[in-house]
Structure 1
Amino acid sequence: MPGPAGSESDHWQWNLLCGNGREWNEGLLEQLFTDDTCGQIKAIHPAGRNCADSYSWEYTKTGHYTVKSVYWVQINVIGVEKESQEVLQPSLDGLYQQVWRLNTSPKIHYFLWRCLSNALPVAENMVHRHITKDKRCSRCDAAEESINHVLFQCPYARLVWAVAQVHIPPSGLWADSFFSNLQWVLNQKKRVPKETN
């Protein structure tokens, strides 16, 4: 933590600590930083003025890195985080299968597959790939251009859906999720009874 001996930054940093350098000057922290930043700083336990900085591995009692501890982290920390993410995210297998079973041309199958895979060159994806800097929709200039926006939420897209006489969801608005909207469109025949003239 300390900078070069006697430097101005070294002096400023030590003002954030009290006494022997093992406790934070909480009053000063609260004056200088937001509550979130203060919380993050307080989570760091300073070793004191007379201790040099060193590396420590938090998954062993000694603080030393071992292959055994890395294996434990892989199974018990990273593996558990991945499992919880998989549970939170819905399975798209059903949608993929529904798309490939559609009675339509291969080009439509491929296009919908690219949509489901988030592989269209919309502004949001181009910014993510550092190809452009502007996420705004090039048609309406009112919102970020995502696949969902281009196909469902953009005023131009909504006009196309209205002309196509496709029933929109009961709320009167397309969802913020592309997957929900695509599922609604693919299941039109099941949800909306056939209209008779």
Structure 2
Amino acid sequence: MNNTGGWNMELVHEVFNDRDAKEILQIPLLSHDAKDEIIWRYDKKGMYSGKSVYRVCVDIMIDRNEWKTDGKWNKLWALAILPNVKRFM
């Protein structure tokens, strides 16, 4: 980006081949007025942590449908029995 808020076209054409330069120059640039903010949408507080990244991987990236089996498992887990008995069942 140059001082006018646009691409430095000469530099882009100098560094990249014509095809790539054409694609790069089509990318819109934000104005300087936009305020940067650090956010992490996968945490309730917006904080980034190893735990929150792990949760993203488990919740979003891994297809857990293959782990599912038919049955009313929530009823089993809600029973007032020893945890070892629940896991055995």
TM tier relative to shorter chain: 0.3 to 0.5
Indicate the structure whose relative CO is greater, using CA pairs within 8 Å and at least 6 residues apart: 2
TM-score w.r.t. length of structure 1: 0.17
Q: Which has the larger radius of gyration?
A: 1
